[in-house]
């Protein structure tokens, strides 16, 4: 019988899990699938806040993502849990406050990578961004910028993860 190849798992975390992290989930999953790596890399997203648990992504996020070919409609918001640290190799925060909250709950035995997702950005236009700006209370431009940042960071993340497979 063939031995199963090792998997690498990635969890994206924002505040509400209805705008930024599900967008990252859908974009990164799409890149993984395009490379035929769906059975080697698992992807999920969650939030540090509990207001939207069980809800589909924000309709504005869904529409902007769909305009670029990413379907987020099947995703549902969930709360991040301490147990996630046992399940994921990469726990990537969308902003510094999310990272602070995650550091406070990280078990001492966690030996994966916990950090800011935008540390993976490579495009010089995005060098000044540490955080994915929260688009929830803003207009269309905010949702478009979220996608620009996430597409750039996802390409580099996938390159690094592939190097570890």
CB contact at 8 A, 93 and 115 = yes
Determine the Cα–Cα distance for residues 24 and 29; give it in Å rounded to an integer: 8
CB contact at 8 A, 61 and 22 = yes
Could you tell me which of 41, 125, 121 has the C-alpha nearest to residue 88? 41
Nearest residue to ligand 4NP, by Cβ distance, number only: 16
Q: Residues 152, 155, 157, 163: is their CA dihedral positive or negative? A: negative
Name the minimum Å distance from CB 1 to ligand 4NP.
Answer: 42
Question: Of residues 68, 76, 101, 134, which has the active-site annotation?
Answer: 134
Query: Nearer Cβ to ligand 4NP, position 8 or 62?
Result: 62
**Can 134 be counted among the known catalytic residues?**
yes
As given in the structure block, the two tokens for residue 1 are: 């019988």
Using CB under 6 A as the binding rule, whether residue 15 contacts ligand 4NP is answered as: yes
Q: At what angle do helices 59-67 and 140-164 cross, to 10 degrees?
A: 70
Name the minimum Å distance from CB 128 to ligand 4NP.
Answer: 20
As given in the structure block, the two tokens for residue 106 are: 């990280």
**Can 84 be counted among the known catalytic residues?**
no
| Contact string (CB under 6 A) for ligand 4NP, positions 50-69, x = contact | -x------------------
Query: Nearer Cβ to ligand 4NP, position 17 or 30?
Result: 17
Using CB under 6 A as the binding rule, whether residue 136 contacts ligand 4NP is answered as: yes
Summarize as ranges the residues that interact with ligand 4NP (CB under 6 A): 14-20, 51, 134, 136
Active site residues: 14, 20, 134
């Amino acid at each position: 019988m063939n031995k199963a190849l090792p998997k690498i798992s990635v969890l994206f975390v924002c505040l509400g899990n209805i705008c930024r992290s599900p967008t990252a989930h859908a974009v990164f999953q799409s890149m993984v699938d395009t490379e035929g790596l769906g059975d080697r890399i698992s992807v999920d997203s969650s939030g540090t806040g509990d207001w939207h648990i069980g809800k589909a992504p924000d309709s504005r996020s869904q529409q902007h993502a769909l305009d670029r070919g990413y379907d987020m409609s099947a995703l549902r918001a969930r709360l991040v849990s301490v147990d996630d640290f046992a399940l994921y190799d990469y726990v990537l925060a969308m902003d510094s406050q999310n990272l602070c909250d995650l550091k406070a709950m990280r078990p001492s035995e966690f030996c994966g990578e916990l950090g800011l997702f935008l540390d993976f950005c490579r495009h010089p236009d995005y060098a000044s961004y540490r955080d994915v700006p929260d688009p929830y209370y803003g207009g269309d431009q905010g949702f478009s910028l979220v996608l620009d940042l996430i597409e750039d960071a996802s390409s580099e993340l996938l390159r690094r993860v592939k190097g570890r497979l």
